Amino acid sequence: MSNSNIHTFVICAYKETPYLEECIESIMAQTSVKSNLSGVVMYTSTPNDYIVNVSEKYNLQVNSGAGGSIGKDWNGALATVKTKYATIVHQDDIYDVDYGRTIISAFESQENRNIVFSNYYEIDEKSNIRERNTNLKIKSIGLKLLSLCKSKKYQRRVYSFGNFICCPAVSYNMERLRDFRFDEDMKMAVDWDAWERIMEVSGNIEYIPKRLMGHRIHSESETTNNTLDKNREKEEYQMFLRYWSKPMAKFLMKFYTNNQKGNV
């Protein structure tokens, strides 16, 4: 890893996904990787021959740790980072070539940014871009409102209507968030909880309106599985209760659960 690296892509590998190599190739093609601004490593809590073979093919270092939850995996992944900035890469997703360079530029332009995140598009199991549904359009509106509201009070009020930020589109300022940890007990609303807590600490968040990564929707994803067994619904209801009374939280959930159908 070059000494000029200021950013790390940590690819979280889990079991034997057929999308891992496509994900890695999108990271290796990054302009920030080719210019030595970014390094690339892998992290797994499920070490196996498949992950080892893929990592050797692309000459990537693999770090492993104890699993148990999404939050624990993400905490383990960030613990391996030695650079100022980091992106937790989800193994099923793909990133446009300028994602890393654009993220780094946003961080470097203002030192007090805790997280920087981009807009995104969805892809299917064959990597075709999915039509932008109502759910994505609503999220884009929410993200735009977040970017317009510079006051944390109003950013949090916007966020009280739902989780608009796509987790794999987020990058972290590790120097400013050195004490931050994901909730290891949550199964689905881990990211919503994280962004809400990060909004409360000193510093800012920054939204890049460009669609710089592709989030894959497929039948084997954790999002789909947790939507089907109602874990997602339970945790999202608890998140709404942080902002609203029970009647209002239940009212909002009626609309929110309809949007979940886009992930199955």
Beta-strand pair 7-13/38-44? parallel
Model confidence band, residue 221 (pLDDT cutoffs 50, 70, 90): low
Mention every residue, 6+ apart, whose C-beta is less than 8 A from residue 59: none
Question: What value does the mean pLDDT take over residues 204-232?
Answer: 78
Beta strand 113-123 pairing with 204-216: parallel
pTM for the whole structure: 0.91
Diameter over CA atoms, the chain:
54
Sequence-separated contacts (24+) of 49-52 with Cβ below 8 Å: 50/15, 50/16, 51/13, 51/16, 51/20
Residue 23 predicted with pLDDT over 70: yes
Q: State the pLDDT at residue 198.
A: 95
CATH architecture of 7-263: Alpha-Beta Complex (3.90)
C-alpha span between 236 and 239 (Å, rounded): 5
User: pLDDT grade, residue 263 (50/70/90)?
Assistant: low
Answer yes or no: is pLDDT of 51 > 60. Answer: yes
Q: What DSSP assignment string belongs to 131-197? A: P--HHHHHHHHHHHHHHH--SHHHHHHHHTT---S-GGGEEEETTTTTT----SS-SSTHHHHHHHH
DSSP state of 129: B
Domain ranges across the chain? 7-263
Which residues face 62 on adjacent strands? 42
Please state the three-class secondary structure of 45-84 as a single string.
CCCCHHHHHHHHHCCCCEEECCCCCHHHHHHHHHHCCCCC
Per residue in 151-163, pLDDT (tens digit) is: 888 888 898 999 9
Reference 9, options 114, 95, 120; nearest CA is: 95
Beta strand 113-123 pairing with 94-95:
unpaired
pLDDT digits (tens, 9 = 90+) for 62-109: 999 988 899 999 999 999 999 999 999 999 999 999 999 999 999 999
With a cut of 80, say whether residue 120 has pLDDT above it: yes
Residue 178 has pLDDT above 90, yes or no: yes
For residue 241, what are its two tokens? 């209760």
With 90 as the cut, is the pLDDT of residue 192 above it? yes
